[in-house]
Chains A and B, each alone.
Chain A
Amino acid sequence: MNILASTSFISPNILAIIYLIAAVTFILGLKGLSSPKSARRGNGIAAVGMAVAILVSLTQIHPHATQIILIVIGVAIGAIVGALSARKVKMTAMPQMVAAFNGVGGGAAATVAISEYLRLGVAGRGAVVTALTTVLSVAIGAVSFAGSVIAFAKLQEILTGVPITYKGQQVVNAIILVGILGIAVYLVAVGTGTALLGILLVLALILGVAFVLPIGGADMPVVISLLNAFTGLAVAASGFVLGNTVLIVGGTLVGASGTFLTKMMSDAMGRSLGNVLFAAVGKPTESGGGAAGATDKTVRSGTPDDIGVMLAYSNRVIIVPGYGLAVAQAQHAARDLARALEAKGVEVSYAIHPVAGRMPGHMNVLLAEADVPYEQLKEMDEINDDFRNTDVTLVVGANDVVNPSARNEASSPIYGMPILNADQSKTIVFMKRSMRPGFAGVDNPLMYDPKTIMLFGDAKDSLLKLVAAVKAA
């Protein structure tokens, strides 16, 4: 069944065994990721398995064919583009990079299925199953491609992170979905049609765009994880079309683990996946939205010198880092402040919310990059009871993860999300560029808390001033 095997000089059985070994390396790679110790090696093992599978596939083509030249050129272009962008991307831009890589994977799966459909035409083997998996691969791959493009644009802030909604949006999306299903059923059950497959492709691309547009920027990581699972499934479906088990194993592993990871991520935000996908969280509400709501409440702001002295004479300080810290490239300044405080005998730890940054675990990566000792990074459950015994909590570029509305205001869009109990500490220093609401677009009452001192300005700049003030104190 394997079309690669038909022109082989490596026998089909050997080929199948090499593919099996590659599939095992993928499982080992994913398994390695369950501990930081084995993670890098696991990723390396999977990469080697992948390289072997690809090289063996190349040996299956007649060496004089023009196709092999095209493949080599294509691989060279793809490898250069992929490696360069992966090397150059800033750690803060990691989520959109993953979205981009995921998108091209989905696009490739859809293209492979289309190409195979055109080749087989009406006389496709195993007709119904081939038609079904082709349709699945094209539809899911195209949704993943287009959805990833929009997710990328939102995270890169080419598009606004605020949900883009209009009246009857979900009805329109439902109609598109029904249209796709209708064509799919026709293609599987009734007959073939290249034009229909083209329409299916276009509708799926539109659906991918339409389905991600109303989702807020803060929820993008969950969406990327879901689209990652989609691409996995599209690849698995392509595996059925081509009769290639390594595609089925690789794609399904990602499809299943990605679906599970998506669920874990929405659980970490205290929300259902349905709520993440369809509630358009982050849309400013009429009542409390934006600057108008902010101006009629008073905030207290302080100078770096005053705050520096206060920090230097505390016993316990907790730093709550957020995406703003990463954007300002202030990880190193935060680490310097922590060291200056420790030199004064202050106990310092970092409270890491599961969704701090823009992906789960993103903040750990960013702080690890700045050589922050691992044992100072505390996960939410580990540190949440310590806030009440803390003199100063320093919120740096974080917002939604310390928003008390999530705990006590049922009408808030982020209600139910587990948050860090920063509001329980004796004093809160809220470092922020301006009074603008956070990435989720939700106003934060913690800023108006009498215990809170605002420190306005660029996070890196403010932190450096604090370091100087602490050293002088």
Chain B
Amino acid sequence: MNSAIIDYLTVFVLSAFVGIEVISKVPTILHTPLMSGSNAIHGIILVGAIAVMAEARTPLAEVLGFIAVIMATINVVGGFVVTDRMLEMFRTRKQTEANK
């Protein structure tokens, strides 16, 4: 096991704690946008899809990469747009939401 793997493992474990910590105070009314917003964040797989596509040297690899790029882009674009649409409606509410 090389040191890079240890680094990744460190990042993984710390991210898990951060993930739980940042959402543990989210009010129920925001659970739907939260689900949708976090859904958009795993669209970061698009960076991975681009990476494998960059290395694609066979037709099969190109097809797989192409599919991955399309799927990941739908995930990331759709996820952020739909979350924004939901949150936009919360924003038009009066200031009373501040104490929620």
- CB within 8 Å of B: which residues of A? 1-4, 7, 19, 22, 26-27, 29-31, 33-37, 39-40, 42-44, 46-47, 50, 53-54, 57-58, 60-61, 65, 67, 70-71, 73-75, 77-79, 81-83, 85-87, 89, 91, 94, 97-98, 100-102, 104-105, 107-109, 111-112, 114-116, 118-119, 126, 128-129, 221, 224-225, 228, 231-232, 235-236, 238-240, 242-261, 264-265, 268, 352, 354, 359-362, 364-365, 368-369, 371, 373-375, 379
Contact = CB atoms under 8 A, between A and B. Distances in A.
Interface residues of B, number: 88
Interface in B35-55: 35-55
A371 B94 CA distance: 10
Nearest to A253: B19
B74 A246 contact: no
Given A248-B12, A354-B28, A360-B28, A50 B80 contact: yes
Given A33-B26, A102-B39, A257-B19, A109 B5 contact: no
A248 B11 contact: yes
Contacts of A261: 23, 26, 31, 34-35, 38
Contact of A74 (B7, B28, B73, B96): B73
16 contacts: A35-B100, A36-B93, A46-B37, A105-B45, A108-B69, A108-B72, A109-B45, A126-B2, A129-B1, A231-B42, A246-B47, A248-B11, A256-B20, A352-B29, A365-B33, A375-B94
B53 A67 contact: yes
Contact of B52 (A19, A65, A116): A116
B38 A258 contact: yes
A98 B82 contact: yes
A101 B79 contact: yes
Interface residues of B, dominant DSSP: helix
A105 B81 contact: no
A30 B37 contact: yes
Given A111-B68, A254-B39, A3 B51 contact: yes
Nearest to A74: B69
Q: Of B24, B87, B100, which is in contact with the most chain A CB atoms at under 10 Å from its CB? A: B87
Contact of A70 (B40, B42, B66, B84): B66
A359 B34 CA distance: 11
B33 to A, nearest CB: 6
A359 B97 contact: no
Given A87-B85, A228-B35, A255-B19, A70 B65 contact: yes
The 9 closest A-B pairs by CB, nearest first: A78-B73, A256-B19, A82-B78, A74-B69, A82-B77, A360-B31, A250-B44, A252-B15, A86-B81
Contact of B45 (A33, A81, A112, A225): A112
A361 B4 CA distance: 41
Contacts of B30: 33-36, 39, 361
A361 B75 contact: no
